Amino acid sequence: MKKLQRLVCLLPILTLLATARAQVPAAAPDSSAPAADAAPQPVDPAKETEIRKLLELTGTVKMTSQMMDRMISSFKMQNSGVSAEFWERFKKEADIQGLVDKMVPIYAKYYSLDDLKAINAFYGTPLGQRMLATTPKIMQESMQIGQNWGRNVAMKLMAELQAEKEKGSASTPVPATAPAPATAPPTP
């Protein structure tokens, strides 16, 4: 859950950084990668509607907006001498809908209209909403179990490796020093 929260928190920040970076002259673009600011392919309006519905149903838009508000509040406390007008202007520039607009083509690339309708139909049900509400809790508890499990497996592995090394060194004969070559008795 913490990773998901961090990711959601970072989305607006990354968007702002990407916007700021786009205004700084960069080196020659890599022709093998698509340009980050390349115009996205047009998305079918019906598909776009379903994508926006999905982002609303899953709480993505709401969480991103809340995280942006928290980030701005934090910056305000750290920069108390900055005018309220600056923060209002900043909030308008950090438009959440602009971020959503950039996300729509990504979802469109991976999901068909039928996929989106089916996903939204599920998330629109009480069970789908329950799943969205419980998934962060399940992820958090699963991560704790996974960390404990991984730690136990690693400790067991280390103990077995150590035992194997000790066993190997005990069973490997230590080379004896070779006896000095016998000299032949002198011939009369």
pLDDT along the chain (188 residues), means of 10: 43 40 36 52 93 94 89 89 89 87 95 97 96 93 94 94 86 58 56
Query: What's the pLDDT at 116?
Result: 97
State what percent of residues in the chain have pLDDT above 90.
Answer: 45
**pLDDT of 94:** 84
Q: What is the pLDDT of residue 30?
A: 39
For tokens 């709480």, name the residue: 59
> What pLDDT is recorded for position 172?
60
Distance CA 121, CA 117 (A): 6
For residues 138, 142, 144, 145, the Cα torsion angle rounded to the nearest 10 degrees is 140
- Tokens at residue 6, please? 């961090």
- Which class for 178: exposed (0-12), middle (13-18), buried (19 or more C-beta within 10 A)? exposed
Q: What pLDDT was estimated at residue 3?
A: 44
Element (H, E) at 4: helix 2-22
CA 93 to chain centre: 25
pLDDT of residue 80: 87
pLDDT of 10: 42
pTM to 2 decimal places: 0.57
Torsion 38-47-117-55 (CA) sign: positive
